[in-house]
Structure 1
């Protein structure tokens, strides 16, 4: 077993959830990766199994306690040494494909799923925890974000995808969004597959795909386009949008 994931959560029943289906689920059943959950409440010290308390300084909501989370985390890291500890939080660094690839190439991860208003800052100050975010929006907790992270990692594990090379041209792998895809039938509702994709000319097809990826990235994600290097959109012969068959 090369990749292991341990999820610290108040809701263990949410797992494996979607990770039990499709590529991730098949890989889990085949033993290509392992998943376990840790119930945070099991490490609470009072009879009510309290994991949160009111925020210092006042304010709405509740804050997850550092002492309870540290007890759960420490017990897990002792049992699974060497795994990076991640916390899914809105203020974390944006999760991007290079980080996904690095995690997938490693031994796995311990993932802390926050709830309520957040986690006592002292936990982050006292433990080596990498905060990650899956987007600029708020979820009810970190569990759904953890599923997103693990799905992105597991599909890159050896033997999970039938054709490993299929991941190489996906969105974000080259810094660009992915080019458009087509399949049969050749004509649908008066729309045809671009002629260049039917030409059999692999050089023209590659040029067309790159140009389309650049056009889509520049128009839909200017932030990605800027990180990619900006500049003029390439338009090699036969690779630009044309009236007629090419769109």
Structure 2
């Protein structure tokens, strides 16, 4: 009895189920495994990236609000590649272009500064959101790909029943097990992708709100400077 149970468990192991499957179900399984690996690579890479960006943004903004001279601060931090630094650089660039004219248009300058900095916010959020659409795609498509493998496996089981003229569990079980394993792989790929997509989208929305507040604060600083311009 123990030997039979051991052999049965070996036949139902993931490797055995994969090896017993036909070429269609194997293709589905390989595709879902690759999608799962790709998903986890994106999740880990994006999580590390967002964490670093949030930390560096906080450091940049803290140093900025402590700075006494904006021009000197810009010279020291002009080459930084963090979102807050890009927004700051966009504001400084527009400020210098708008105040280079002999006749200063204060209202026009304020409007252009707002457009330039909020455009920089949108560009940085787009850059940080790259590849998140892959998570959304895997989360929505993987269950249906697994379901396709399930349907195909069950159809194969029915063919085996018809060929053997036998409805015993020994004839049906392998095909059904392969089919259900394809479904499990689909869910294994989809569930982390959906959870990660929702969490990362929430994190990016929070970061966008923070960058927007920084842009508004810097815009207010430059607006006050405009009032001092003769």
TM, length-normalised to structure 2: 0.23
Q: Which has the higher contact order (CA 8 A, sep 6+)?
A: 2
Say which one has the larger Rg. 2
More helix, by proportion: 2
More strand, by proportion: 1
TM, length-normalised to structure 1: 0.22
